[in-house]
Amino acid sequence: MSESCKNYIDGHWLEATTHKTFENRNPADRHDLIGLFPVSGADDVDQAVQAAKRAFARWRLVPGPKRGEILYRVGELLRKHKEEIARGMTREMGKILKESRGDVQEGIDTALYVAGEGRRFFGQTTPSELPDKFAMSVRAPIGVCALITPWNFPMAIPTWKMFPALLCGNTVVFKPAEDTPHTAVKLAEILTEAGVPPGVVNLIHGRGEEAGAALVRHSDVRVVSFTGSAAVGREIASVCGQNLKRVSLELGGKNAQIVMEDADLNLALEGALWGAFGTTGQRCTATSRLILHRDIKKQLTEMLMARAEKIKIGDGLDESVEMGPLINRAAREKVHRYVQIGKAEGARLLIGGAIYDEGNWADGYFYRPTIFDQVIPSMRIAQEEIFGPVLSIIEVNSFEEGIDVLNATAYGLSSSIYTRDVGRAFRAMRDIEAGITYINGPTIGAEVHLPFGGVKDTGNGHREAGTTVYDIFSEWKSIYVDYSGKLQKAQIDNAE
Ligand code: NAD
């Protein structure tokens, strides 16, 4: 096993004690083997957690501004290696190079944003109700944090969990998705080069149900931060509930873009194309439903079909390609299954609905951009997360109906409305049930300094990014300093 394919525990690159490995292959060409990575078991997880626990004793005492400075260096190194990491990411998970560069950029943005927090990290100071007494609150680190991440943003998601966790003074065990271990290794290398001490970040490769589950169950893990599917999120939450562990969940989405009859249709078209087919529809914030006012439905549908049919499919490393493959065979089978479900439900397939295996592409997991018309909100293709390039068009008669349809799913991550009517825009901001709402923009495009997360089945109320992320990774501690030299009793000595 090459150095660059191992676990990273306490500053050492190690094979798994199981001596088993799994393959990481390029989804654009299954014959391209990227590497063999360790299938870690409970013993490896325990080693990593123990290393993180030991490192916590020292890291929590490193001054916040110093921790911030190290993260700033991480940001600079990510910038230096951006192109190399982006190319590796595209090879590993298939999205086009432009998007992989954006993914790394999100890591850079987070590093620089979080670094500044090292000198801020505000608590509160308040008056005390008693004389000669001082009151304040500070944020305290919690301990070992488990970070479990999906493959669709192999740099952005791990970093927007990890950097705030570290800034708070916690240490980390990071379990990346099985499909993207290579980018995780690159991140670990950069952290080391930037001066993150041994044990502060530990990397464990392996299967979710084995390494991931062992990490969630480990009694020395105090916080679990999970991004992935709702099914796994529920499992993790129940284990954490039993053990009274803090858990933050970022789960699925069934995001919609509404286009009203007064919208700029060219703008709405660009938004729908980018939202539905960017990252081959494999973003948690991807546009999966397009809710069109009946007056513009025919025109916008025709515009959309004409453009979607021309999307250039292929290996994301080719700069002219607009849409890469799906992540693996199982993902493509799932997408194709949903297309059959849609047809059986009575939706009308306008374009796509088929595997793409032309020319050089027979060895990748490509799928054609797919659009369904005459979709009814209760259909499964309008309710369940497909996670592929499949867009369902739903016709509505009014603004109110559009909002009702948008809200009528179990999820609530991202949302969008195209309208020139400022009143409708503000009503949409108020009435849409989602963690993120865009006005005249697609459902994708979050920035790192605003809270990120969703309502309903998309999560459990936490928000990553912004300053809200610190509520996941720190404990509030209230401190009272009595310098009166006598016992003062709150609510008693100063009562009428
Ligand atoms: P997944 O749930 O299959 O896996 C996510 C991670 O969990 C992987 O690292 C996996 O190994 C691990 N895992 C699996 N079973 C586990 C278990 N029993 N215990 C502990 N860990 C376990 O998800 P995926 O297919 O990698 O990612 C796609 C999903 O992620 C989609 O549903 C998508 O919407 C969601 N997602 C959400 C957000 C968000 O911020 N809301 C962002 C990106 C992706």
Could you tell me the distance, in angstroms and rounded to a whole number, from the CA of residue 401 to the centre of ligand 1? 32
Q: For residue 317, how far is the Cα from the chain centroid? A: 23
| Residue appearing with tokens 């939450």 | 237
CA of 149 to the centre of ligand 1 (A): 6
339: left (phi over 0), alpha (psi -120 to 50) or beta: alpha
Which of the listed residues 148, 175, 239 should we mutate to test ligand 1's pocket, taking the one with most ligand atoms within 8 A of CB?
A: 148
pLDDT digits (tens, 9 = 90+) for 288-332: 999 999 999 999 999 999 999 999 999 999 999 999 999 999 999
User: 150 CA distance to ligand 1 centroid (A)?
Assistant: 5
Whether 3 shows a pLDDT value over 70: the answer reads: no
For the entire predicted model, the pTM comes to 0.97
| Predicted local confidence at residue 359, as pLDDT | 82
CA-nearest residue, atom 28 of ligand 1: 228
How does 346-363 read in b/e, with b if 16+ C-beta sit within 10 Å? ebebbbbbebbeeeebee
Question: Over the stretch 147-197, which tens digit does the pLDDT of each residue have?
Answer: 999 999 999 999 999 999 999 999 999 999 999 999 999 999 999 999 999
Domain borders along the chain are: 3-251+459-479, 255-439
Sign of CA dihedral 228, 471, 412, 234: positive
Mean pLDDT computed over every residue of the chain? 97
Rounded Cα distance between 158 and 185, Å, is 12
Interstrand relation of 475-482 and 133-140 (parallel, antiparallel or unpaired): antiparallel
Cβ atoms of 308 and 351 within 8 Å: the answer is yes
Task: Tell which atom from ligand 1 comes closest to the C-alpha of 178.
Answer: 11
For residue 30, the cross-strand partners are none
The confidence score (pLDDT) of residue 120 equals 93
Rounded to whole angstroms, the Cα distance separating 201 from 53 reads: 11
DSSP state of 445: -
DSSP state of 298: H
How far, in Å, from the CA of 10 to the mean position of ligand 1?
26
Instruction: Give the residue-averaged pLDDT of 458-483.
Output: 97
CA of 284 to the centre of ligand 1 (A): 10
Look up residue 94 and give its amino acid. Answer: G
Phi-psi region of 145 (alpha: psi -120 to 50; beta: other; left: phi over 0): beta
Q: Is the pLDDT of residue 446 over 70?
A: yes
Q: Provide the token pair at 372.
A: 């369904």
Instruction: Please tell me the residue having the least CA distance from ligand 1 atom 32.
Output: 229
Residue nearest to atom 23 of ligand 1 (CA): 228
Ligand 1, atom 16, lies closest to the CA of 208
Using CA atoms, how far apart are residues 459 and 253, in angstroms rounded to an integer? Answer: 10
CB atoms within 10 A of CB 479: 11
383 neighbors 409 (Cβ within 8 angstroms): yes
User: Residue 259: what residue type?
Assistant: V
Pocket lining for ligand 1, CB < 6 angstroms: 148-153, 175, 177-178, 208-209, 212-213, 216, 227-229, 232, 235-236, 250-253, 284, 385, 387, 413, 458
- C-alpha 45 – ligand 1 centre gap (Å): 18
Q: Give the Cα separation of 267 and 272 in Å (integer).
A: 9
Residue closest via CA to ligand 1's atom 39 equals 250
Contact between 311 and 323 (Cβ < 8 Å): yes
| Alpha carbon nearest to ligand 1 atom 38, residue | 284
Joined together, the tokens standing for residue 348 give 């009308």
The proportion of the chain whose per-residue pLDDT surpasses 90, expressed as a percent, equals: 98
CB 444 within 8 A of CB 285: yes
Q: What are phi and psi of 225, to 5 degrees?
A: -115, 115
Burial of 19 (0-12, 13-18, 19+ CB in 10 A): exposed
The predicted-structure confidence for 363-378, as pLDDT tens digits, reads as follows 999 999 999 999 999 9
Strands 7-9 and 12-14: antiparallel
Q: How many whole angstroms from 50 Cα to the centroid of ligand 1?
A: 25
Percentages helix, strand, coil for the chain, rounded to the nearest 5? 40, 20, 35
Q: What are phi and psi of 53, to 5 degrees?
A: -65, -45
pLDDT at site 205: 98
Could you tell me the two tokens for 304?
A: 């959309």
Question: Looking at the predicted structure, is the pLDDT value of residue 253 above 90?
Answer: yes
Active-site residues, by number, are: 250, 284
The answer to whether the CB of 215 falls within 8 A of the CB of 148 is yes
Alpha helices in 195-279 (DSSP H): 213-217, 230-242, 265-277
The answer to whether residue 1 scores a pLDDT higher than 60 is no
Q: How far apart are CA 33 and CA 26, in angstroms?
A: 7
Residue 131: pLDDT above 50? Answer: yes
What dotted CATH number matches 255-439? Answer: 3.40.309.10
Residue to mutate, 284, 288, 415, 443, ligand 1, most ligand atoms under 8 Å from C-beta: 284
Distance CA 80, CA 77 (A): 5
Alpha carbon distance 204, 201 (integer Å): 10
Residue 4 predicted with pLDDT over 80: no
Closest C-alpha residue for ligand 1 atom 31: 229
Atom of ligand 1 nearest to the CA of 230: 32
- Which residue, judged by its Cα, is nearest atom 42 of ligand 1? 284
CA of 457 to the centre of ligand 1 (A): 14
Q: How far is the CA of 98 from the centre of ligand 1 (A)?
A: 23
pLDDT in tens, 322-345: 999 999 999 999 999 999 999 999
Identify whether the C-beta of residue 278 lies closer than 8 Å to the C-beta of residue 444.
yes
CATH architecture of 3-251+459-479: 3-Layer(aba) Sandwich (3.40)
pLDDT at 494: 86
Q: For residues 52 and 218, give the distance between their C-alpha atoms in angstroms, rounded to a whole number.
A: 12
| Spatial contact of 177 and 151, defined as CB atoms under 8 Å apart | yes
pLDDT digits (tens, 9 = 90+) for 373-420: 999 999 999 999 999 999 999 999 999 999 999 999 999 999 999 999
Closest protein CA for atom 35 of ligand 1: 228
- Give the atom of ligand 1 at the shortest distance from the alpha carbon of 231: 2
- For a mutational test of ligand 1's pocket, the pick from 99, 152, 242, i.e. the residue with the most ligand atoms closer than 8 A to its C-beta, is 152
Residue 297, phi then psi, degrees to nearest 5: -60, -45
Return the best residue to mutate from 92, 238, 248, 251 for the ligand 1 pocket (most ligand atoms within 8 A of CB).
251
Top mutation candidate among 232, 413, 444 for ligand 1, by most atoms within 8 Å of CB: 232
Q: Is 214 exposed, middle or buried (0-12, 13-18, 19+ CB in 10 A)?
A: buried
**Rounded to whole angstroms, how far apart are CA atoms 212 and 205?**
9
The CA 453 to ligand 1 mean position distance, Å, reads 14
- Least Cα distance to 419 among 436, 407, 402 occurs for 402
Q: Name the residue with the closest Cα to ligand 1, atom 26.
A: 150
Rounded to whole angstroms, the Cα distance separating 30 from 360 reads 12
Question: What per-residue confidence (pLDDT) applies to 83?
Answer: 98
